[in-house]
Amino acid sequence: MIFETWWLLALPLIFGLGWMAARFDARQLMSEQGALPRSYFKGLNFLLNEQPDQAIDAFIEVVRLDPETTELHFALGALFRRRGETERAIRVHQNLASRQDLPDAEREHALFELGQDFLRAGLLDRAEESLRRLMSGPYAAPAKHVLLELYEVEKEWKKAIDAARELQPLEHKDYSVQIAQFCCELAQDALQRKQPEEAVGWLQQAIKENPANVRAPMLLGDVAMAAGDAQGALGRWLGIEQQDASFLPLVADRVVKAYRQLGDNGQALAWLRGLLKTSLAAELLDSAYRAELELHGAHAAAALMREQLRRQPSLQALTKYFEAQAAEAAEAAPAAAGETGDSGAAVAQAQQAAGQDTGQVQEVSAIRDLLQHRTRNLARYTCRECGFRARLFYWQCPGCNRWETYAPRRTEALG
């Protein structure tokens, strides 16, 4: 009975203490909110309404009133960099990094942001210096990632290889595609310096890093061709069909050149004609047309394009057909004009035929010009990552700087 009495007395006391604690927490929260400047909430409101300029002005006022607000400094620096005011962003982050009272984690954060500021401003040496101070700790992986981008911009391919290899265990990501491409870039640099042995070494390293890399066999074929080994070059280029046949259009003209050097133009044309019956026809029409035109003349080129129109009708094949027709008509007109007899009637007949031929040449040429104008800008290589479109094929997209994002086929059909 005594226990129950004390229990009844304790219950109101417990509820009273809980009520007092809740009141205390509420008052403390209200006092903390009241201590925040109104500019802070104005800045947040501007950010939510996607008004970064007004948000910057509001946050500048907050930082002026309370210089200790490190998080607002970071937000302000990021806004400056996003708006392109890299000098102001650098000042904000430099002030943070130089503060003696700043915890190590926040100082590393400031150094990381500072490195990005320098990179955006084009001060690559200073960006590398800032990021190099973060090779361990929580910002090691993002700092090395930015360094990798920096080395790609500077074309420091050896440093890029080292950075990519260091990133692999940190990010648990495979960088073999990028490393192989860096090796290919080093090989191209060696070829420009007339160092084929060094180039071959880098290309072999590229294949070791990424056996699926197509660029390295292409360049090894170039090295063989430059050394006068047309047969070896052919072996490299034709071997791409087993690796990834979609890349064959990129080496088609090289293959024709190698066959020509070996004195086997017929084999080159037969190879191209065979590929015209596949899904690669649209990409190989130009090469096949030029090879047929050079080897057998305009009439044969027109016949080849006519056959292609029956098999796979397309605007590109039609354009090449009229190009061949115009070339054939231009060749026939002077020949017809030269075949004149002694009689006046023969001369008049020849002049009439020549006039008709001239009119035909003009008509066919007009159709050819119209089709060429229509098809000139249709086909584009398109990046799978950012959608950047280009007339030329790139191993690294100029838009997003990703590697091997361009398919070797143009994405818009010409039909």
When the pLDDT of each residue in the chain is averaged and rounded to a whole number, the result is: 76
Q: pLDDT digits over 142-155, tens only? A: 888 889 988 998 89
Mean pLDDT of 118-142: 81
> For the chain, give me the number of helices (H) and strands (E)?
20, 2
Give the up-direction half-sphere exposure of residue 97: CA atoms within 13 A in the CB hemisphere: 19
The pLDDT, as a whole number, for residue 407 is 82
Indicate if the pLDDT at residue 353 is higher than 80. no
Of 245, 249, 246, 157, nearest to 209 by C-alpha is 157
Q: Is 184 annotated as a binding residue?
A: no
Task: DSSP letter for 403, please.
Answer: B
Amino acid making up residue 357: D
Instruction: Write the Ramachandran bin of 263: left for phi over 0, alpha for psi from -120 to 50, otherwise beta.
Output: left
Partnered with residue 396 across adjacent β-strands are 403
**Measured between alpha carbons, how far is 108 from 97 in angstroms, rounded to an integer?**
8
Domain boundaries, the chain: 68-173, 377-415
Could you list the beta-strand ranges (E) of 71-149: none
Topology classification of domain 68-173:
1.25.40
Which residues, at least 6 apart from 346, have a Cβ–Cβ distance to it below 8 Å? 340
Q: pLDDT digits over 377-409, tens only? A: 556 788 888 888 888 889 999 888 899 998 887
The pLDDT, as a whole number, for residue 191 is 95
Amino acid making up residue 119: L
Q: Is 183 annotated as a binding residue?
A: no
**Measured between alpha carbons, how far is 384 from 400 in angstroms, rounded to an integer?**
10
The pLDDT, as a whole number, for residue 139 is 82
